[in-house]
Amino acid sequence: MSATGAAHPSVKERAELALNDEFLRKAVKFTTERLRNGKKNASADHGNWDEWRERGRQIRLHTIAHLDYYLNLFVENARANGVHVHFADTGEEAVRISLDIAERKSAKSVVKSKSMVSEELHLNHALETIGVEAIETDLGEYIIQLAGEMPSHIVIPAIHKNRYQIADLLSEVAGERLEADTTVLAGFVRKKLREKFLEADIGMTGCNFAIAETGSMVLFENEGNARMVTTVPKTQITLMGMERIIPSFEDLEVMATLLPRSATGQKLTMYMSGISGPRRSDDADGPDEMHIIIVDNGRSLQLGDPEFQELLNCIRCGACLNACPVYRHIGGHAYGSTYSGPIGAVLTPALNKNIAEWDDIANASSLCGACYEACPVKIPLHEMLIYLRRRKVESGHGNKLEAAGMKGFAVLMANASRLRAILALGKIGQKLVVRKGEIRTKIGPLKGWNSYRVTPSLPRASFRDRWATLDQEIRHGLQELNPEMQRRLENAVKQRQQGGGAGHGGH
């Protein structure tokens, strides 16, 4: 991540790379549309979708609001199941514990199923430094690991690779030329990874949900690799974000209803596994030793912050990515971090608490609210993006030119005759650059805009000129702001006045 970040420091530059890659853009668009339509159909088929979303939100809100109780309960129950539980305040600490276990077990290889937390920690690299081979076993993750890249989508990590590129990568591993045929390629991976599963010393997983009342961890997947990782090796390590908790199996029904439908449009993923500790003494498979590492790594900063606490409700389905018009154009890598799309734009600076470094990510959004509409637990991501932008400006990381421009704009707009005068001037001045009613020149400040778009010219009769008539016409038909949104915004303002946002004070 840092490599990509350092070479192309701004979202704009990274996005330009993506925008120039025709295949990537098409692949991202095609996949996100497929997933988005799948989700739309699945949620419509199921029915009462908004009620389910609300229930999901309530369960997540309740659990996070009582996280000290539920997390503690989970820990006690997991321990009673025979799990070794560890706590990591930071990513480094989680890495150190993982490496300690690998060293104590004299592990040569670790097979991993998809885990966003592990991506967050850059664990594979760390394992390699102590001579332990780390193998991603999710088909898409395996491919991007071979390519030495980052996932570009939470659910479909290799969305940006075509099968010819994949055939090249796998042929290198095979030592022979593999046909660029999906069945051939997947068949090769099955065979190759079977060997890896059977010889690995440690299996490492993430955790979709952790059930407080029974100390169980739950995994959703389609390939069966997470089952492999939790069944075959002698030692299992699970990395779990501290917020993954839900109270009970009953609550899991709601999450199991929301997550697969939102992620891929499935009624349920092919496998859903609840694992409660290492194998029982009479069992003939399952791990002998099981560790769960509970990771904070910036998550607790959101607790008690009225603007961002709901971020912890996220169930990592990726629906906001698929719904986001910006993500669909620039793809995941342009976000330059583990989490991409709208959730990444908010989560990354929130977890890293360095708004300055990630400042432009919050701008990679049109604030259209499609992410909120798509979110199965109703996280108001578009509002959070505004809060982020505000905090960035408040902490002195605003754009000086933009501030000056806004000031100038304010001066103009504050006085009607001033605005009228400048518009009249503009109508005369634009004659130099207008061709067929459009401005296409890329000189000076117009370059950024006109590289991809066309600036319209000032019309002969503007909206302002016609306002008096229009005003009469629509005076009675004015629509009010959606009451729920209005309430939310009012609440946010109120909480801010009460000294909220302390968690991000250091930005």
Partner 1 sequence: MADIDKSETAHAAWLKEMEAASRAKQETFMNGIAARLRHPRMKEKPAHPYRGALDFWREFEWTEEERIARFADNWRSVGGHVARLSNADEVRDFIAGKAKELGARFVVRQNQAELDALGLEAALPDARISVWNSDPEEHWKARAAEADIGVVAADYAAAYTGSVTVLSAKDKGRSVSLLPTVLMIVIPIERLKTRLGEVLVNFDRAGREQLPAGIHFISGPSRSSDIENDLTIGVHGPGIVYALIVG
Evaluate whether 501 touches 391 at the Cβ level (below 8 Å).
yes
Applying CB under 8 A, does 272 fall inside the site for partner 1?
yes
Q: Which amino acid is at 296?
A: D
Per-residue mark of binding to partner 1, 466-505 (x: CB under 8 A): -------------------------------------x--
Residues 314-333 that bind partner 1 (CB under 8 A): none
Tokens describing residue 160: 């940006």
Angstrom distance (rounded) from CA 82 to CA 214:
12
The footprint of partner 1 on this chain (CB under 8 A) covers a number of residues equal to: 102
214 makes contact with partner 1 (CB under 8 A):
yes
191 or 440: CB nearest partner 1: 191
313 makes contact with partner 1 (CB under 8 A): no
CA distance 285 to 363: 50
Considering the rule CB under 8 A, would residue 22 count as an interface residue with partner 1?
no
Residue 170 near residue 161 (C-beta atoms within 8 A) = no
Instruction: Choose the stretch contacting partner 1; rule: CB under 8 A; options: 199-207, 272-280, 333-341, 402-410.
Output: 272-280
Measured from the CB atom, the residue of 27 and 350 that comes closer to partner 1 is 27
| Minimum CB distance to partner 1, residue 2 (Å) | 26
Token reading at 322: 């698929």
| Shortest CB 158 distance to partner 1, Å | 6
Choose which of 41, 48, 482, 491 interacts with partner 1 (CB under 8 A).
48
Single residue of 18, 71, 207, 375 touching partner 1 by CB under 8 A: 71
d(CA 71, CA 214): 12
| Residues 121-150 contacting partner 1, CB under 8 A | 137-140, 143
Q: Which is nearer to partner 1, 137 or 365 (CB)?
A: 137
Query: Per rule CB under 8 A, is residue 379 in the interface with partner 1?
Result: no
Mention every residue, 6+ apart, whose C-beta is less than 8 A from residue 108. Answer: 132, 133, 201
We find the least distance from the C-beta atom of residue 290 to partner 1, in angstroms, to be 9
Who contacts 329 (Cβ-Cβ below 8 Å, separation ≥6)?
Answer: 15, 18, 19, 25, 28, 29
Q: Which residues contact 144 (CB under 8 A, 6 or more apart)?
A: 136, 150, 151, 152, 157, 158, 161
Binding mask 148-167 for partner 1 (x = CB under 8 A): --------xxx--xxx--x-
Q: Which residue has the tokens 């991501």?
A: 381
Provide, rounded to whole angstroms, the least separation between the CB of residue 104 and partner 1: 6
The verdict on 27 binding partner 1 (CB under 8 A) reads yes
Quickly tell me which residue has 């097979």 as its tokens. Answer: 111
For the chain, what is the radius of gyration of the CA atoms?
26
